Amino acid sequence: MSEAPHLDTVATAETTPDTPLPYAELGMAGDEYARVRAILGRRPTSAELAIYSVMWSEHCSYKSSKVHLRQFGEKAPDSDALLVGMGENAGVVDVGDGYAVTFKIESHNHPSYVEPHQGAATGVGGIVRDILTMGARPVAVMDALRFGPVDAPDTRRVLPGVVSGISFYGNCLGLPNIGGELGFAPGYAANPLVNALCVGVMRHDDITLAQAPGPGNKVVLFGATTGPDGIGGASVLASASFDDESQAKRPSVQVGDPFLEKLLVECSLELFREGLVVGIQDLGAAGVSCSTTELAAAGTGGMRIELDRVPLRDSRLTPEEILMSESQERMMAIVEPGRLDAFMATCERWNVLATEIGEVTEVTAEEEKRGGRLVMSWHGETIVDMPPRTASDEGPVYERPYTRPVDQDALHEDDPARLPRPETDDELRAQLLRVLASPGVCDPRWVTEQYDHYVRGNTVLATPDDGGMVRLSDDTTRGIALATDGNGRYTRLDPYTGTQAGYAEAFRNVAATGARPLAVTDCLNFGSPEDPGVMWQFAESTRGLADACEVLGTPVTGGNVSFYNQTGETAIHPTPVIGVLGVIDDVTTRLRSAFGHGLDGARLYLLGETRAELGGSAWADVVHGHLGGHPPRVDLTAEASLAEVLATAAEEGLATMAHDLSDGGLAAALAESALRGGVGCEVRLEDPFTELFSESTARAVVAARPGAETALTGLCSRHDVPFTTLGTVGGSSLVVRHASGGFAVTLDELREAHAAKLPAVFGDDG
Amino acid sequence: MTARVGVVTFPGSLDDSDAARAVRIVGARPVSLWHDHADLHGVDAVILPGGFSYGDYLRCGAIARFAPVMTELVPAAESGALPVLGICNGFQILCESHLLPGALTRNRSLHFVNREQRLRVESASTAWTGEYAPGQEIVAVLKSGEGNYVAAPETLEELEREGRVVARYVGGSPNGSQRDIAGVSNEHGNVVGLMPHPEHAVDELTGPSTDGVGFFTSVLAHLGAPVPTPSG
């Protein structure tokens, strides 16, 4: 559009109805363009087309997912804790004592493939601004990452770049990175997943909403200047699959400035404290287009913007480019005229540029019926005159066709029971070490050591513990715990059950820290919604999550959908990443996952029931390269009971550690607990192969506080949680005994297997 | 008297609230100092906290040294009168201000490193380390991307000769620092720069140890202010 020779005004549009516009290049379908013409009663100006094309893109409008996401609201359990539900920038949950918490996870997958460092960095920046916009101080971040095979050449480009981007942005912003996930599978090779979560804390009274009430109120843009970065990112990058032209899309990735974001955070919090803001919105995907249409739509419906007042980094930008720019670190506020001077003074104190660019206007009844009226001018000429709600709220909604893929039955019939199992103790021992050394199970320290988890001084638990935990402030013992989980192999086998398994795992991880799960956020990563098989996976996955949340009483408070994670015909494993938030009254009672020193001789229990469930397991994947059968059964009632036992055991001081069982089963759990604490254990098993590698859900390893064994097992009995005595903590080896023999692995050998993989591929530190 | 310890906030400072917490924990009063005010408000000592002042976009600490708050701080520190502790980014600022010799360059791995770090306190004769025993090993938090200490050979010799290497990494340098140096002092011992963070090792709940408390009690003892007895 930059080649457009002259300004395309509303007046021009009215007199040149037949001028062709490049709607297809902007990712807009022919019938969508026809609808824009019908709404406006004329052809759109190029500026209006820019707005509609980004606002109606898959990324901004959720046009393919909306019909499925509705059930998160329809099936939402009654929860007194939910203060703000879905639809705002992020949901808000009451965590007691007048504190509220807001949290959300969002994808930045496509930009992170094109330019891993900046793609991942700006992913962190974007989600932090979403949380800030709710009026909360961001207090921690997490990230869930998926890459292609660890040894693939391109993974050596993408993974270090993504990690350095998260490290660069998050560390410089001063937010502790308290956890996340790392996974590898071939399908992610050209479709890495970078899902960033942020959590913020505020007092109940501090909740702010994206709205623009009050005609005469001023519209202020503050933060970074607007440049040509990320233009069309929302519609071009996030809504189309990669093909050979992806190299040509490089300029569409945004560039982040975490220092400016830090100033923007502190400045905004001060503006909130001083009561200088009546509504606020961050500028993310679709930039000024999104913030103006959404703020206007949520307010009077009326807004007038002088687009030429937007401060630019590059004076050659056209109005269309300004509307589509995704320059980072920008916010838009609605400010009462009488408070504008104070607003500007606070921005100046933080060296944050702020510019009044327009005002909220009245709308007539007629205009209200059409969806409000947003008018934008460029040096006095009107270039946009449209009903904002038609762009923000009334975009296209698709009932995409979906069908169960034909290979689904064959996948189920390929049962892992047919796989050869280890026949001797030596083989069993060797396979345990192989699973422990595999990229999806091994020590992620090469990654997590690049993230600051101490800053702000409230981090109680962080990676490698089961969930991250932060104290809400210095003045309280109250804290929150967070975990994210999602197992693409399970979801590939059965999207309904697999999604529930991911959710159950995050729920269990939060419970294993001693916290009580409260609410959910989700990032749904899938292939192309135009593929009926992918759409079936999506429909099943959302149905599974909504059903599970209904049973366990944890509402979905918000999240994000990322489609088009596929190359050619091959989609990624469907990968819903589920974040669960929990609350703990007293963080000093939290449970770590390590066998600490001083626990020598403590009795070790396995809580929950182990079945022969190896479909989608780490063992089948690592040892046999096999993916087939069914994922482990999900029993939500058992998860709820287990969670109650873990939280109560923490509160009453009955346990000294707890570690959930998931990828790699008991084998991985025991090894991890031993390595984290530098203390071994000795366990006795009936059927060592199944007990070590099965990935049955609703299980955890717990060490009883000496003297509290009976109280702990009594607690299990009261909640119908099955338990078995595994053995004892102690020594400097992992010792497994069974009726006909056993084996031992020293901690040194375990550590070598667990820690060597990532440094070997990505380079040794130090 | 209750000692008043200033904590400077530059744009981009991150561990300023953590430094203030550590000051409170030892019973002193933290005083917030703003980078843009050329006024130390009569504080008894100053901490330059960790973070990324001005985004560290030119060179770590290179812009902060020109901040108005430094105009009063530099002469008071140079004279030996004012105890100053620079932690991480604060250490970088002290080097850029020439209050301490040497420079901090990118980690040998070229990556940010966040870990529990064992240190040996080499000098107990500074304003900030008097409460430690010489040679005492402690655990603190290292979190930095540019913590690789370098100095000219003659400077290193001088530091060693004068006992101005305040702390060393134990078990090898995690960032490539020459002679495993984690912290140094000026010739008066009132100005100390330290790459690891003692303020993140003051509470068992949130840190790897409480070994860092000694830096803050030391300055109180140095100032003649009451020092709390260790509560374990």
Q: Take residue A427 and report the two structure tokens written for it.
A: 């083989």
Kindly report the nearest CA distance between residue A156 and chain B, in angstroms. Answer: 15
Domain contains B99? yes
CA distances (Å), A543 to each of A413, A500, A502, A572, A737, in order?
24, 9, 14, 19, 43
Backbone angles phi, psi at A64, to 5 degrees: -90, -20
Tokens 């192969």 — which residue? Answer: A689
Chain A partners within 8 Å of B61 (Cβ) = none
Of B11, B21, B55, the CB nearest to A457: B21
The confidence score (pLDDT) of residue B229 equals 67
Closest Cα in chain A, distance from residue B199 (Å)? 9
Per-residue model confidence as pLDDT tens digits over B76-98: 999 999 999 999 999 999 999 99
Q: Say which residues have a Cβ less than 8 Å from residue A369's Cβ, sequence separation at least 6.
A: none
The answer to whether the annotation marks A562 as part of a ligand binding site is yes
pLDDT digits (tens, 9 = 90+) for B150-205: 999 999 999 999 999 999 999 999 999 999 999 999 999 999 999 999 999 999 99
- Specify the pLDDT at position A86: 66
Catalytic residue flag (residue B60):
no
Pick the more confident residue, B232 or A483.
A483
CA gyration radius, chain A: 27
B107 domain-assigned: yes
Residue B140 has pLDDT above 80, yes or no: yes
The Cα-based distances of B148 to A243, B106, B183 in angstroms read 43, 6, 11
B206–A174 C-beta distance less than 8 A: no
Instruction: Dump the DSSP string for A75-107.
Output: TPPP-TTEEE-BTBSSEEEEEETTEEEEEEEEE
Choose among B15, B108, B205: nearest Cβ to A455.
B15
Q: Under an 8 A CB cutoff, do A766 and B175 touch?
A: yes
Angle of helix A425-437 relative to helix A665-677, nearest 10 degrees?
A: 70
State pTM to two decimals. Answer: 0.93
**For A86-117, how does the pLDDT look when each residue is reduced to its tens digit (9 = 90+)?**
666 678 999 999 999 999 999 999 999 999 99
Is B16 inside a domain boundary?
yes
Q: What pLDDT was estimated at residue B67?
A: 94
Of A707, A698, A583, which Cα lies nearest the Cα of A655? A707
Question: Any known ligand binding at A522?
Answer: yes
The residue assigned the tokens 């260790």 is B230
Give the largest CA-CA distance in chain A. Answer: 90
Contact present, A78 and A459 (Cβ < 8 Å): no
Q: Say which of B51, B176, B205 has its CB closest to residue A174.
A: B51
CA–CA gap between residue B176 and residue A354 (Å, rounded): 43
B128/B214 Cα distance (integer angstroms): 8
pLDDT value of residue A237 = 39
* pLDDT, position A251: 56
Q: Higher pLDDT residue, B208 or A298?
A: B208
User: What is the C-alpha separation between A80 and A98, in angstroms, rounded?
Assistant: 13
- For chain A, residues with pLDDT lower than 50 are 1-5, 233-250, 766
pLDDT of residue A245: 46
B196 CB neighbours in chain A (<8 A) are none
Q: What is the pLDDT of residue A247?
A: 39
Containing domain of residue B202, as a range? 4-223
Quote the tokens at residue A56: 């109606």
In a domain, B230, yes or no: no
Residue B95 annotated in active site: no
Domain assignment present for B161: yes
The answer as to whether B19 is a domain residue is yes
Distance CA A334, CA A270 (A): 15
Count how many domains chain B has: 1
Class of domain A408-762: alpha beta
pLDDT number for residue A426: 97
Res B227: pLDDT: 79
- String of DSSP letters for A117-158: HHHHHHHHHHHHHHHHHTTPEEEEEEEEEEES-TTSTTHHHH
- Domain assignment present for residue B232? The answer is no
Chain A: give the shortest CA distance to residue B98, in Å.
Answer: 24
Q: Nearest residue on chain A to B147, judged by CA atoms? A: A766
In angstroms, what CA-CA distances link A738 with A242, A462, A685, A686? 52, 35, 5, 6
At A333 the three-state DSSP class reads strand
* Amino acid type, B173: S
Q: Comparing A246 with B39, which gets the higher pLDDT?
A: B39
The answer to the question of residue B140 being in a domain is: yes
In tens, the pLDDT along B188-203 reads 999 999 999 999 999 9
pLDDT value of residue A765: 56
Q: Which of A59, A68, A117, A754 is catalytic?
A: A59
Q: Which residues of A are less than 8 Å from B109 in CB distance?
A: 763-766
A259 in contact with B at a CB cutoff of 8 Å? yes
Rg (CA), chain B: 16
Separation between Cα atoms, residue A481 and residue A509, nearest integer Å: 9
Query: What are the chain A neighbours of B203 within 8 Å (beta carbons)?
Result: 457
Is pLDDT above 60 for B228?
yes
| Pairwise CB contact (< 8 Å): A167 & B113 | no
Residues in contact with A75: Cβ distance below 8 Å, sequence separation at least 6, in sequence order? A546, A547, A549, A550
What local confidence, expressed as pLDDT, does residue A83 receive? 81
Confirm or reject contact between A587 and chain B (CB < 8 A).
yes
